[in-house]
Chains A and B, each alone.
Chain A
Amino acid sequence: GQSLEQPSEVTAVEGAIVQINCTYQTSGFYGLSWYQQHDGGAPTFLSYNALDGLEETGRFSSFLSRSDSYGYLLLQELQMKDSASYFCAVRDGSSASKIIFGSGTRLSIRP
């Protein structure tokens, strides 16, 4: 089966850098995704890594190490609007379409 572990809460200061880690166990691996969800909103896609290494999209970067079954989301130049929950997710090994979500990391940003 699939399982993902990520910290439940992270606190950081505005303007700083924060890293949210995710470890996973899957029966087949098709990539690691990250989603952002603001309070009262819907999850929105941030990034996807299928291969090892760092993918950068503006202030957000995502890293994957398949050998370690590990990835992280890096947020730079934190802004108050980045306060949200962040979910890592993996594709289910038995189905190309099904995605399994982690329990989410709530990021709180202090001024």
Chain B
Amino acid sequence: DAGVIQSPRHEVTEMGQEVTLRCKPISGHNSLFWYRQTMMRGLELLIYFNNNVPIDDSGMPEDRFSAKMPNASFSTLKIQPSEPRDSAVYFCASSIGGRGGNEQFFGPGTRLTVL
């Protein structure tokens, strides 16, 4: 199993540009999570999906952030327009949802730098 796959691994962009982060969860996992990690704020849950449906997006900081999951094997997190304060490591994680799913499997993360 390849694990959770994220791309790109590193992204450097300029303020105002659109950024799209991609995630492929582990096959058979029906829950997908997007996290943001910074030194100041730690690991924050942005949004999560169950069976491709967004369940809780209360962690999405602003309307500039949006996430989609068009099918069970792909999700995107988009920031438009990006700002320097969006610089962080963005992790995607997947799990077997429901009360039996106790372990989340994290991807390697995308390190985003907005200049």
Interface residues of A (CB under 8 A from B): 30-31, 33, 41-45, 48, 50, 87, 91, 95-101, 103-104
Kindly provide the distance from the CB of B96 to the nearest chain A CB, expressed in whole angstroms.
Answer: 9
- Is B102 interfacial (CB 8 A cutoff)? yes
- Is B108 interfacial (CB 8 A cutoff)? yes
Q: 6 A-B pairs, CB-CB below 8 angstroms? A: A42-B91, A43-B91, A44-B106, A48-B102, A97-B55, A99-B33
Judged by DSSP, the binding face of B is strand
Which of A96, A99, A101 meets B98, CB within 8 Å?
A96
Q: Is the CB–CB distance between A95 and B56 below 8 Å?
A: yes
Judged by DSSP, the binding face of A is loop
Given contacts A42-B107, A42-B108, A104-B42, contact A98 B56 (CB under 8 A): yes
Given contacts A95-B56, A97-B50, A97-B97, contact A43 B42 (CB under 8 A): no
List the B side residues contacting A41 at CB < 8 Å.
Answer: 108
